[in-house]
Amino acid sequence: MSHIYLNSSMLQQLNHTVQEYFSDWMRSQQTHFNHTTLATSPAVTKTSSTTFLATLAVAYLLYKWLLPATRTEAFRPVHFEVPLPEAAQKHWKGKRLHSISNSINEVDSDQRIQCYCPATGQVLGSLLPKTEQDIDVQISRATKAQLKWRETSLDQRTKVLVSLQDYILKNQDSIARVACRDSGKTMLDASMGEILVTLEKLQWIIKHGKKALQPSKRPGPTNFFMKWYKGAEVRYEPLGVVGALVSWNYPFHNLLGPIIAAIFTGNGIVIKCSEQVVWSSEYFITITRKCLEACGYDPDLVQLCYCNPPDATDNTANYYSSHPGLKHLTFIGSKPVAHHVLTAAAKSLTPVCVELGGKDALICLDSVKDLNALSSIIMRGTFQSSGQNCIGIERVIVSARNYDDLVSILESRIGKLRLGSDIDNLEDVDMGAMISDNRFEQLEYMIKEAVKQGARLLHGGSRYKHPNYPQGHYFQPTLLVDVKPEMSIAQNEVFGPVLTMMRAEDTADCIRLANSAPFGLGGSIFGQEYAECNFVADHLHTGNVAINDFATFYVCQLPFGGINGSGYGKFGGEEGLTGLCNAKSVCYDKLPFVSTQIPKPLDYPIRSNRSAWKFVKSFNTGSYTRSVWTRIKALLSLARNA
């Protein structure tokens, strides 16, 4: 829907018109009431009341819904354009690599990071990794830009987000194609997992971010003598320049998410993308920088860093994580890499929000009626982005009554899934490629090991050589049932297109199985009885839960993060914004003529320690006693020792 933009004078006129209408309408209603109340029948009176309520409802919708979306200049986007890379053009014919190594990326003789499409093997280009000197320059530039940016109003920052949102809405095809080129996913998966969630984050902050960052009034002291005149609040101020190390599975959303939160809270950001998706990240960062520039702000506020993984000869990644110029880090990735990041960040005492992997369970209780509808949710949650989703469904736990029926339904559906790439062709595909084939052996081993221990493999279980894209990284959609909690595949994150099913005896057993893995990111519960679902939610050891839905806690912009092996800290929602701020505690005098004074018995030099002690003891007693009589005695003691 197109927006209607009103300037301040137009808004004042509209507001005046609405007020005049209400005044006239209320006068007419009062006159009508005076003439008819005593003479009319109950039916007429009821009709008048209905008209009154209906008019109030319409006015409320107009005033609360239409005007807030159009009330200020902040909601008018600035338009800008970003040139599309050649490889992002539809039907681009790039050359393919003859062979793709199992390493994360191919690196040539001068250490350039080789980028290619995991779905087709087409070469996207190569880029030189950043050096330690490059990082110093990037943080320096971001710091300089942030000193001016921190002085901007929340409305000015909102205007930048509105402009960014407007660009994304108008360029969905191009953005999705760039993400697919670099990750191998399908266009549909990019639209849902990249664009939808980014637009939601933008829209949520545009609508609710300003309120989240307003000074938070606090109760103040409970001290009987101080509570009358002392006020307290928390003010949220920018930290400076923050950093984020983001994973490759959602190259657009994972990159934009931290940037959106950082710039709205008044911070600059130097974000480090995965070496797997450097090509697309360069394009996406250009969008944000161009947006800032078009709105009249320094694009140096946002910087992109990328380098090779740390080893004996290259310490650039650790140099970034330990840099004292970064005031906060958000890490999204695996537990082994998190150890490196946290060790490095400890050198500069940089706080880190850590979001690691998950082993999310979807629980199907006995009360579920429509298993066919549930199977659709399970398949979307398992196979979207080829299972490379931190909150993807890793385990389907089904109570005994529904287990066999749900297995049968999924067995009939999974075998029909089609693999391939729809980046250029209009062919119908269900699942794309994985980012790399470096974990294929591990996936095949875990599946074979589970089968040896009693699990049944009903579909897939191994890599797939696509006839049209032989260089692509494809793994067969897999259905593994009768999985036991002690199996390796039930304890370790798969992060691939493998649907594992576990049978539970009852609701209590569902909870036991769900809590048996060393992760605690998210989970889903399905059942007809809300009380039962709520009971299960209260007993899951996770940071996030969706009842009768899948992963919508993320779309709802709730604080997102896990416990145990899934990390700690939260991003997203109000907590995600305030977590990027210095929460400055401020106390003040509520009454201008009353302020704290040092009583004479406590003023230096102390005249009498005995009197001073009695004074403080009486002050403490009078401040915190629950007895009125005791407080009266304490007041008398204060007077005697003053």
Q: Which residues, 6 or more positions from 253, have their beta carbon under 8 angstroms from its beta carbon?
A: 193, 194, 195, 197, 198
Tell me how far apart the alpha carbons of residues 517 and 492 are, in angstroms, rounded to a whole number. Answer: 8
Return the structure tokens found at 97: 């690599």
pLDDT band at 7 (very low <50, low <70, confident <90, very high): very low
pLDDT band at 58 (very low <50, low <70, confident <90, very high): confident
SS (H, E, C) 412-459: HHHCCCCECCCCCCCCCCCECCCCCCCCHHHHHHHHHHHHHCCCEEEE
Among positive and negative, which fits the CA dihedral 574, 577, 582, 586? negative
Among positive and negative, which fits the CA dihedral 192, 493, 322, 272? negative
Alpha helices in 498-567 (DSSP H): 507-514, 530-539, 552-555
Average pLDDT over residues 617-634: 96
- Please give the pLDDT value at position 609: 95
pLDDT in tens, 334-384: 999 999 999 999 999 999 999 999 999 999 999 999 999 999 999 999 999
pLDDT band at 98 (very low <50, low <70, confident <90, very high): low
| Identified catalytic residue from 355, 411, 441, 493 | 355
Tell me how far apart the alpha carbons of residues 388 and 394 are, in angstroms, rounded to a whole number. Answer: 10
- Please give the pLDDT value at position 39: 41
Closest CA to 642 of 586, 610, 600, 607: 600
Residue 212, pLDDT above cutoff 50:
yes
Q: What is the H or E stretch that residue 406 is in?
A: helix 400-414
Residue 108, pLDDT above cutoff 70:
no
Average pLDDT over residues 251-261: 98
Average pLDDT over residues 122-127: 94
- Please give the pLDDT value at position 495: 97
Residue 198, pLDDT above cutoff 60:
yes
pLDDT band at 47 (very low <50, low <70, confident <90, very high): low
36 three-class SS: helix
Identity of the highest mean pLDDT range in 10-19, 25-34, 98-107, 629-638? 629-638
Residue 30, pLDDT above cutoff 80:
no
User: How large is the angle between the packed helices 609-624 and 628-641, nearest 10 degrees?
Assistant: 160
Higher pLDDT, 113 or 107: 113
* Sheet strands side by side (includes 113-116): 106-107, 113-116, 123-127
pLDDT band at 72 (very low <50, low <70, confident <90, very high): confident
- Please give the pLDDT value at position 61: 67
- Percentage of residues of the chain with pLDDT beyond 90: 81
- Percentage of residues of the chain with pLDDT beyond 70: 88
Residue 642, pLDDT above cutoff 50:
yes
pLDDT in tens, 161-170: 999 999 999 9
- Please give the pLDDT value at position 23: 54
Closest CA to 124 of 314, 293, 280, 255: 280
- Please give the pLDDT value at position 425: 80
Average pLDDT over residues 202-222: 97
Residues pairing with 567 in the sheet: 355
86 three-class SS: helix
Tell me how far apart the alpha carbons of residues 514 and 492 are, in angstroms, rounded to a whole number. Answer: 13
Residue 533 zone, left/alpha/beta (φ > 0; ψ -120 to 50; rest):
alpha
Residues pairing with 419 in the sheet: 431
- Please give the pLDDT value at position 20: 53
Higher pLDDT, 191 or 108: 191
pLDDT band at 33 (very low <50, low <70, confident <90, very high): very low
Return the structure tokens found at 16: 């005046």
Average pLDDT over residues 548-562: 95
- Please give the pLDDT value at position 10: 44
Phi, psi of 561 (to 5 degrees): 170, 170
pLDDT in tens, 292-303: 999 999 999 999
Higher pLDDT, 427 or 631: 631
Residue 258, pLDDT above cutoff 80:
yes
pLDDT in tens, 600-622: 999 999 999 999 999 999 999 99
Which of 193-197's residues contact partners 24+ apart within 8 Å by CB, and which partners? 193/250, 193/253, 193/384, 193/385, 193/389, 194/250, 194/251, 194/252, 194/253, 195/168, 195/252, 195/253, 196/555, 197/253, 197/554, 197/555
- Determine whether 355 is an active site residue: yes
Closest CA to 432 of 479, 389, 393: 389
Residue with tokens 């697309």: 280
Among positive and negative, which fits the CA dihedral 261, 265, 268, 270? negative
- Please give the pLDDT value at position 109: 47
Average pLDDT over residues 540-545: 98
SS (H, E, C) 320-364: HHCCCCCCCEEEECCHHHHHHHHHHHHHCCCCEEEECCCCCEEEE
546 by Cβ neighbours in 10 Å (0-12 / 13-18 / 19+) ranks as buried
pLDDT in tens, 560-590: 999 999 999 999 999 999 999 999 999 999 9
Higher pLDDT, 7 or 56: 56
Alpha helices in 215-277 (DSSP H): 253-264
pLDDT band at 35 (very low <50, low <70, confident <90, very high): very low
**In the predicted model, what is the mean pLDDT of the chain?**
90
- Please give the pLDDT value at position 266: 98
89 three-class SS: coil
Closest CA to 308 of 128, 178, 161, 452: 128
Residue 19, pLDDT above cutoff 70:
no
